[in-house]
Amino acid sequence: MKKTPWTLDPERFFDPDPAQRRIARTLYDSVAGLPLVCPHGHVDLRLFSDPDFRFGNPAELLIIPDHYVTRMLYSQGVPLEALGVPRLDGGPVETDPRQIWQTFADNFYLFRGTPSGAWLAAELVDLFGVREKLNSDTAQAVYDQIEDCLARPEYRPRPLFDRFNIEVLCTTDPATDTLPHHRAIRESGWHGVILPTFRPDAVVNLDTAGWRGNIDLLSEVSGVEVVSYASFVQALEQRRGYFKELGAPATDHAAVLADTEPLDDDEAEAIFARALAGRMLPGDPQRFTAHMLSEMARMSVEDGLVMQLHVGSMRNHNDIVFQRFGLDKGCDIPRTSDFVYGLRPLLNRYGNDPRLRLILFTLDETTYARELAPLAGHYPAVRLGPPWWFHDSLNGIARYLDQMTETAGLQNLAGFNDDTRAYPSIPARHDLWRRACANWVAGLIVRGIVDEEDAAAMVHDLAYGLAKRAYRLG
Amino acid sequence: MKKTPWTLDPERFFDPDPAQRRIARTLYDSVAGLPLVCPHGHVDLRLFSDPDFRFGNPAELLIIPDHYVTRMLYSQGVPLEALGVPRLDGGPVETDPRQIWQTFADNFYLFRGTPSGAWLAAELVDLFGVREKLNSDTAQAVYDQIEDCLARPEYRPRPLFDRFNIEVLCTTDPATDTLPHHRAIRESGWHGVILPTFRPDAVVNLDTAGWRGNIDLLSEVSGVEVVSYASFVQALEQRRGYFKELGAPATDHAAVLADTEPLDDDEAEAIFARALAGRMLPGDPQRFTAHMLSEMARMSVEDGLVMQLHVGSMRNHNDIVFQRFGLDKGCDIPRTSDFVYGLRPLLNRYGNDPRLRLILFTLDETTYARELAPLAGHYPAVRLGPPWWFHDSLNGIARYLDQMTETAGLQNLAGFNDDTRAYPSIPARHDLWRRACANWVAGLIVRGIVDEEDAAAMVHDLAYGLAKRAYRLG
Amino acid sequence: MKKTPWTLDPERFFDPDPAQRRIARTLYDSVAGLPLVCPHGHVDLRLFSDPDFRFGNPAELLIIPDHYVTRMLYSQGVPLEALGVPRLDGGPVETDPRQIWQTFADNFYLFRGTPSGAWLAAELVDLFGVREKLNSDTAQAVYDQIEDCLARPEYRPRPLFDRFNIEVLCTTDPATDTLPHHRAIRESGWHGVILPTFRPDAVVNLDTAGWRGNIDLLSEVSGVEVVSYASFVQALEQRRGYFKELGAPATDHAAVLADTEPLDDDEAEAIFARALAGRMLPGDPQRFTAHMLSEMARMSVEDGLVMQLHVGSMRNHNDIVFQRFGLDKGCDIPRTSDFVYGLRPLLNRYGNDPRLRLILFTLDETTYARELAPLAGHYPAVRLGPPWWFHDSLNGIARYLDQMTETAGLQNLAGFNDDTRAYPSIPARHDLWRRACANWVAGLIVRGIVDEEDAAAMVHDLAYGLAKRAYRLG
């Protein structure tokens, strides 16, 4: 069977109508070359702190750590062991990267029409120069091609940072992290801008596994002996200051619910004391987390760190997979969220204060038009984070823009996050966002809703300006 | 920089596909000239009761009272004081209308892609003949232009009523209102048809601020001394009769929840007695409101007034703005609604009775396809109000039509409401609805779902007939 | 007025863009002739067990039993009596089929833009060769035409089975059914493949009307005297075996909620004993149903029957209609569903087991992208049933595909169900699905998301392969 070379459609993700498509292409071309602003993500810093870091083999790079990939194969009956995902008990898993890659290629058709499929195709074609569509037959040749690339110096993380045209890349770091890799990168004299983000979940959420140890670590790194709620707050403030000194623009908080009801000091002290003593009452963790979200907003008002809030993931839905493989294996499932009543205490205290910047993320799209857009279209503090996780897709972006902007306006959006561990996928993710946005704005032009002057400004903001301003990045 | 004149695209809001657009245009042209039926809104009656009423300056007309406009600027950090919004404490606010207008113009880009932006553009271009796009540079010239218009007799409210081609305009009036302006308009011999709507929320919702005073006023205007639940019901029936005499076609009810569980008479008496005595128990207001919704349906069965129910707005989410500026400042936020269990008691009593007409409005679009369309596609009493408030937009209308009509059919819709305080925006709102509907029906034609004969009837109904029939307007 | 003949647009349901439409047409043509796989439905078996079965008159065939049709007319004030729907009290209803047909035709415009309208048009035009659009004027001539057809042998159910090109048709049968019609069909030597589905709701849901009698019947047909929970489980296992012997591929379960929390054996015994004794406690039926869903999954693991779960219908919302006319009269209304917490107990026990196949159906579209797609994109056991009931429509299918596939991938879908009592509507329903799917895949091609090779495979799977594989139909 004759093969046509595997290519990416230069007008991919645009609507088919010729008028809209022509405008979308023009708008996209105007922003395709802008630097990437990456204010929220999870790239491993060791890629950059060691100037000579080299990626491992193709399976280690693209499959084993990517739970978007492994979950899909698992859902169709491929054991995670066959994909080389390490077991917590050290039990046997596939170790031959070529076999893992073959299994992946055999099942690559599962990703048809998915964002993972689009990102993977863009990585293979654009980054690694693959010219044959990935399938069972081409698997090993594609593996060879990627392996060859990875051996070359220009495929090390630092040169790729320039090739990817990244202006700033933020990581997500525990409150107890002393940020040695960030320090090392700074001290190395390398020009790449990589900034930390303060994520205190593991000390703030009292039911975190290993919480007590995290508190000891917090005492150690902050120099504040955490023996009470008051000293806990002091230690957190010390850490925020430390992160800020190292350039952190923001904090990040994950919560199942958006509740923010504050406690009075006595209650907070009592709960914290019970937690230290290992004698928590039912409901203590939830109430304390809610309180701490309000408290974190108070600190943001004072120190100017942008506050990100990711709401609604029910983590580790699958006990068996969690027990065997641990966190982040594709079994976190979204649930409904309420922002109206949940956020009200926080917003009534700080939502009118221009010093607070609160960026909201949801996995419950029903809150877009009903709750989030009206909140962002009123409170000066609120901005709307981009479609998150499962919703960072062509349809997800269209739903987000259609449901958010009519009520909130474009200026209350926070631009794009790639939110990824998968460093090589960053350009593909931003590209999909930029194309989807260009197409969406082109849709406004062809419907006579905005003119070309407005459209150009909107696309530029979506691709670049909104993220920089939302995160106060210069 | 050379400027092209500011114009409105004659095919705005239509899909770009040439075939669909051509049909949409034809369908739209067939209804663009139909009179406007305005069965639900909030226009100030003083505009019409005084034949010589003149609008104030452009800021007083278009900015200060329009919380759609002021909320958006507030969300981006513009104090409401800078927009001339009066403070309850009489504190200082901007009083120079030209300065307010300049601030608005400086921020007009915030409305790109929003329905407010579309309505404002249509008002400026179509009504006031503005030819330069509003921005910082053109602000004062545009102000001059509007000011000139407003000085001319044809820009008084009554001549505009004819220019707008309004067939009937309904207002929303408290149950305790003696409707003096409605009387004055009738007695003036002017030909405009303006009808009241009976809205008893302020006496029915026991937790309304000032409720006790409202009850005294109800006693006074009804001639029924309200000393008990029984006399309360009597007084309400008297007021409904009074409104009906003055031509009211409908009642209107706002509730956070759609609960309609009736109380027995003893319970209703007991709660009402506690309310009169100022000794309500927790839950009393919610239970009484639910009961009164069923009771109002009973009265509608008897007197034929159409019953409108607006569900799901959590009012005054922002305490600071509420305390400083009062009601209706853009800080009412939608919440989830349940119609399935909530409405069941009412519908089981009266939903099969053709004398009841119950028009339902929601801010929770998730109920469209799941709850409202199935209810309306079954119960003879139920009709579906148009997309409300934040959802009265191009995308909101498309979502409404796509999610409602397949299950409910077109004839269970209630046509359009402009639901506005902003009198000059009425034509633009109806025009957007008519264009969106024409485009949607054109989409059915190009997909072979309806033929041209059906399409013509559907567009006519959406633009005109459904509203007249749903509200029994003759 | 000159009439054009009533025809069906050969490109109906396709998007208007010429490029997308051309591709959609090609893709559709490639699957239009595939056999129909009908793994879930409610066709009356007497149509097939009697080789000489003849349909009654057009009203008996197309109106009286079709609650999609009667509910819509009822919602607009047509009494169900006027449509010949039998009253439980034997009260008078219209008996003249021509009068019923006339009433239907007078109101046929109510179905404009609805899926019922599309199916009915396809039946009239394609199956019965009607050439005049149905309305008040043409009603009786159309009636004549259908009546003529029904008198002909080729319009009997068995020849239509071949004309419809049905490969397999599954019915839905109570656990207590001895399946005599299935046996008769098998023994008749007819080549049509018709299989039963095991639906135990009437014995599993303790609050079913007539539950005690159903249990006695279960004892009788299973040969296991049901005197306890243990013997109840034994009897169910016996019945599952019986159904399986007769070729049943699947079970089916309806539940208001997706709760699956198991009970321990003592609790299950205690609740079952209370039910047998007629002394249930509040909450017993709900807890027992939840438990039995997990128990049914356990049995499916053991016997390989595919498990279907239909969640979220609040049955018989309208007491008056229920009391007068009984079940299935268009007054079942969907409600919100939670799959995340509800299904977790079942999935944690059996969701990782490849022997379980659990097909989920919802009436709450908000769960598509938020809950169901992430669950199906992770758990090996889970597949996603097609859009159900009100959502089996052009827009409903588009929402389903857009919201499910990006996260779950196509291979976690279960293909199509027609889920109908209306035998003559089966081809129209599959045809709408196939057209909608072809159009949706064409949309992926024109956006550069999939290539033609992938598209062809996807459309074939959607039209045919997924249903066969999901239901393990060979």
CATH number of the domain enclosing B215: 3.20.20.140
d(CA A194, CA A367): 32
φ, ψ (nearest 5 deg) of residue B195: -125, 150
Domain identity same for A43 and A64: no
Domain identity same for A83 and A107: yes
Q: Which of A155, A187, A216 is the last residue of a domain?
A: A155
Taking each helix axis from N to C end, the angle separating B67-75 and B115-122, rounded to the nearest 10 degrees, works out to: 130
Domain identity same for A337 and A227: yes
Determine the 3-state secondary structure of C309 from DSSP.
strand
Domain identity same for A292 and A151: no
The answer to whether position A10 is within a domain reads: no
Cβ–Cβ under 8 Å, residues B461 and B415: yes
Q: Which residues of C touch B457 (CB under 8 A)?
A: 109, 112
Domain identity same for C113 and C188: no
- Tell me which chain A residue has its CA closest to the CA of residue C371: A334
Q: Tell whether A84 is within 8 A of chain C (Cβ).
A: no
Domain identity same for A141 and A202: no
Count each helix (H run) and each strand (E run) in chain A, helices first.
22, 11
Sequential DSSP letters for A203-215: HHSTTSTTHHHHH
Q: Where are the beta strands (DSSP E) in B267-311?
A: 306-311
d(CA B112, CA A413): 13
Cβ–Cβ under 8 Å, residues A311 and C370: no
Q: Which alpha helices (DSSP H) does C278-343 contain, by range?
A: 284-303, 319-325
Pairing of strands B173-174, B36-38: unpaired
Nearest to C112 among B347, B377, B410 (CB): B410
Are A373 and B394 within 8 A, CB to CB? no
CA-wise closest residue to C409 among A337, A401, A104, A75: A75
Q: Tell whether A450 is within 8 A of chain B (Cβ).
A: yes
CA-wise closest residue to B214 among B234, B197, B232: B232
Q: Tell whether B456 is within 8 A of chain C (Cβ).
A: no
Domain identity same for B106 and B225: no
The domain that holds A69 is classified in CATH as 1.10.2020.10
Q: How confident is residue C1, by pLDDT bands cut at 50, 70 and 90? A: very low
Q: How many residues does chain B have?
A: 474
Domain identity same for A340 and A445: yes
Dihedral in degrees, nearest 10, Cα atoms B23, B27, B28, B32: 160
pLDDT computed for residue B402 by the predictor:
98
Cβ–Cβ under 8 Å, residues C217 and C271: no
Domain with B327 in it: 18-54+156-470
Hey, which residues 226-255 in chain C have their CB within 8 Å of chain B?
A: none
Query: Which residues of chain B fall below pLDDT 50?
Result: 1
Pairing of strands B382-384, B358-362: parallel
CA-wise closest residue to A378 among B170, B318, B439: B318
Q: What is the 3-state secondary structure (H, E, C) of B78-146?
A: CCHHHHCCCCCCCCCCCCCHHHHHHHHHHCHHHHCCCHHHHHHHHHHHHHCCCCCCCCCCCHHHHHHHH
CA-wise closest residue to C389 among C15, C32, C41: C41
The answer to whether position B11 is within a domain reads: no
Q: Which residues of C touch B377 (CB under 8 A)?
A: 71-72, 75, 330
Cβ–Cβ under 8 Å, residues C418 and C425: yes
pLDDT computed for residue C3 by the predictor:
62
pLDDT computed for residue A327 by the predictor:
92
Q: Which alpha helices (DSSP H) does A342-425 contain, by range?
A: 344-350, 367, 373-376, 394-408
Are C114 and B412 within 8 A, CB to CB? no
Q: Which of B155, B178, B206 is the last residue of a domain?
A: B155
The answer to whether position A30 is within a domain reads: yes
Cβ–Cβ under 8 Å, residues B103 and B134: no
Query: Which residues of chain A fall below pLDDT 50?
Result: 1
Angle, alpha carbons A82-A84-A86 (nearest 5°): 120
d(CA B416, CA B423): 16
Q: How many CB atoms lie within 10 A of CB A78?
A: 18
- Tell me which chain B residue has its CA closest to the CA of residue C317: B344
Kindly state the tokens that stand for C177. 């059914």
Tokens 């909620």 belong to residue: C257
d(CA A260, CA A294): 6
Q: Tell whether C379 is within 8 A of chain A (Cβ).
A: yes
CA-wise closest residue to A398 among A428, A461, A440: A440
Domain identity same for A181 and A141: no
Query: CA-CA distances (angstroms) from residue C370 to B11, B178, C311, C404?
Result: 36, 51, 16, 9
How many contacts, defined by CB atoms under 8 Å, are there between B and C?
A: 133
Task: Calculate how close chain A gets to C133, using CA atoms only, in Å.
Answer: 33
Dihedral in degrees, nearest 10, Cα atoms C463, C464, C469, C473: 140
Are C406 and A115 within 8 A, CB to CB? yes
Domain identity same for B150 and B79: yes
d(CA B18, CA B5): 25
Are A408 and B75 within 8 A, CB to CB? yes
The answer to whether position A434 is within a domain reads: yes
Domain identity same for B37 and B174: yes
Q: Tell whether B448 is within 8 A of chain C (Cβ).
A: yes
φ, ψ (nearest 5 deg) of residue C276: -60, -35
d(CA B25, CA B426): 21
What is the DSSP-derived secondary structure letter of residue A35?
P
d(CA C36, CA C164): 8
Q: Which residues of A touch C412 (CB under 8 A)?
A: 75-76
Cβ–Cβ under 8 Å, residues C405 and A394: no
Determine the 3-state secondary structure of A17 from DSSP.
coil
φ, ψ (nearest 5 deg) of residue A362: -135, 155
Number of domains making up chain C: 2
d(CA B392, CA B442): 20
d(CA A445, CA A441): 6
The answer to whether position C12 is within a domain reads: no
d(CA C271, CA C294): 16
The answer to whether position C176 is within a domain reads: yes
- Tell me which chain B residue has its CA closest to the CA of residue C19: B17
pLDDT computed for residue A474 by the predictor:
83
Q: Which residues of B touch A457 (CB under 8 A)?
A: 109, 112
Pairing of strands A313-314, A333-334: antiparallel
pLDDT digits (tens, 9 = 90+) for A154-212: 999 999 999 999 999 999 999 999 999 999 999 999 999 999 999 999 999 999 999 99
Best probe of the B interface among C107, C112, C316, C338, by most B CBs < 10 A, is C112
Q: What share of chain C is helix, strand, coil (3-state, %, to 5)?
A: 50, 10, 40
Domain identity same for A230 and A363: yes
C116-120: long-range contacts, CB 8 A cutoff, minimum separation 24: C116/C68, C116/C69, C116/C72, C118/B449, C118/C12, C118/C394, C118/C428, C118/C432, C119/C422, C119/C425, C119/C428, C119/C429, C119/C432, C120/C62, C120/C69, C120/C425
pLDDT computed for residue B1 by the predictor:
45
d(CA A138, CA A140): 6
Kindly state the tokens that stand for A254. 């994950």
How many contacts, defined by CB atoms under 8 Å, are there between A and C?
A: 133
The answer to whether position B2 is within a domain reads: no
The answer to whether position C8 is within a domain reads: no
pLDDT computed for residue A117 by the predictor:
98
**Percent of chain C having pLDDT more than 90?**
98
Which chains lie within 8 Å of chain B at 3 or more CB pairs, if any? A, C
Q: Which of B121, B155, B189 is the last residue of a domain?
A: B155
Task: Name residue C97's amino acid.
Answer: P
